[in-house]
Amino acid sequence: MGKKVILSGIQATGNLTLGNYLGAINNWKKMQEEYDCNYMIANLHTLTIRNDPEKLRNNTLNLLALYIAAGIDPNKSNIFIQSQVALHAELAWVLNCYTYMGELSRMTQFKDKSAKHADNINSGLFTYPVLMAADILLYQADLVPVGEDQKQHLELTRDLAERFNSIYGETFKVPEPFIQGVAARVMGLQDPTSKMSKSSSIPNDSIFLNDEPDIILKKFKKAVTDSENVVRFDIKEKPGISNLMSIYSAITGKSKENIEKEFEGKGYGDFKVAVAETVIEELKPMQEKYKELINNTDYLEKIYRQGAEKAYSIANKTLEDVYKKIGMIL
């Protein structure tokens, strides 16, 4: 029995947050031994909003360096850049022809993003989940680690795989979502009722992975709490403190109960400093490695070229099968 296949990706939009790290990359690292992992840098998806080309190129390479700095090992996992494997766009076109307008209209992310970018509701934004389905199905992924916000897209991916398989016979593996444990959802420090976001407009709401230690400390000190002054987990009544506890727990592995005991009789001030120090220590090795890698463009190029080659050879098998079945001449 071979290992189960994993595929996941993050959009190359720059400025990753602690949420991306604890909710995704840090878990990806742990999966490398047990699974056959493919980690993609989703740069085609970023075209659904307007980008500066030079920035996009930089963001793409920065994300690659960050994956490696965070411990994704190119010798264990396949790391590649989406646009370098043209088959993604090809399969997306085919799948578009098997996806109903009604299905895409129901996607909550489409509704949210259209509201946010009312001046640029392009058809890429609408078919975004179809490209994501192509990313996943090309690799015959068994499991797709995603956050809550991507679950609906994964549901659609499953529907498309099943639809295609039922017309043409077994072609695609129907993937399962792989929702990660406690820390899967890191919330904003200023608005702990919404997810920590790369693009939050609220100052001090997000911890960025390249924040210097003094900035991290400052942001945690300013984090919104409540007036009880007791470190206790209660998402409804105490979303701020609960979020800080989740972050602390995700890094230290301590249970909520143990954290409550640890800070019994201590105020929020002490707790915030402890969380900040833990985060600073956790990010330090990655930040150092990142600074080293980002200037080593030859090395980065070697990794993405080798990744694209490997990705192509896997994806091409799937696409050839699809093309044969639907009547394309090979």
Nearer of residues 10 and 81 to ligand TRP, judged by Cβ: 10
When asked if residue 195 is in the footprint of ligand TRP (CB under 6 A), the reply is no
Which residue, 135 or 248, is less far from ligand TRP as judged by CB?
135
Which whole-number Å values give the CA distances from 205 to 26, 208, 223, 236, 318, in the listed order?
21, 10, 8, 19, 42
Hey, which residues does 8 pair with through a beta bridge? 39
Handedness of CA 135, 137, 140, 144 (dihedral sign): positive
Q: Tell whether residue 158 is a contact of ligand TRP (CB under 6 A).
A: no
Q: Which of 55, 76, 198, 289 is catalytic?
A: 198
If one asks whether residue 160 binds ligand TRP (CB under 6 A), the answer comes out as no
| 195 given a catalytic annotation | yes
Residue 232 CA to residue 120 CA, distance in Å, equals 44
Cα angle 112-117-120, degrees, rounded to a multiple of 5: 125
Q: Is 266 a catalytic residue?
A: no
By CB under 6 A, what part of segment 22-61 binds ligand TRP? 42, 45
Specify the pairing of strand 78-81 against strand 36-42.
parallel
Cβ neighbours of residue 91 closer than 8 Å, sequence gap 6 or more: 134, 137, 138, 315, 318, 319, 322
Query: Identity (one letter) of the amino acid at 301?
Result: E
Rounded to the nearest whole angstrom, what is the least distance from the CB of residue 180 to ligand TRP in the complex? 13
Read off φ and ψ for residue 37, nearest 5 degrees: -100, 135
The tokens for 233 are: 């987990």
Among the residue ranges 1-9, 60-68, 99-107, 194-202, the one whose residues contact ligand TRP (CB under 6 A): 1-9
Is 222 a known active-site residue? Answer: no
Least distance CB 262 / ligand TRP (angstroms):
33
Catalytic annotation, pick one of 29, 173, 195, 219 = 195
Q: Is 144 in the site for ligand TRP (CB under 6 A)?
A: yes
Distance CA 216, CA 221 (A): 9
Could you tell me the smallest distance in angstroms from the CB atom of residue 280 to ligand TRP? 26
Q: Are 238 and 222 in contact (CB under 8 A)?
A: no
One residue of 5, 6, 9, 25 binding ligand TRP per CB under 6 A:
9
Q: From the CB of 272, what's the least distance to ligand TRP, in Å? A: 29
Which residue from 38, 92, 130, 135 is in contact with ligand TRP, where contact means CB under 6 A?
135
By CB under 6 A, which span of 8-16, 212-220, 251-259, 315-323 interacts with ligand TRP? 8-16
List residues with catalytic annotation: 113, 195, 198
Q: Under the rule (CB under 6 A), what is the footprint of ligand TRP?
A: 7-11, 42, 45, 132, 135-136, 144, 146, 150
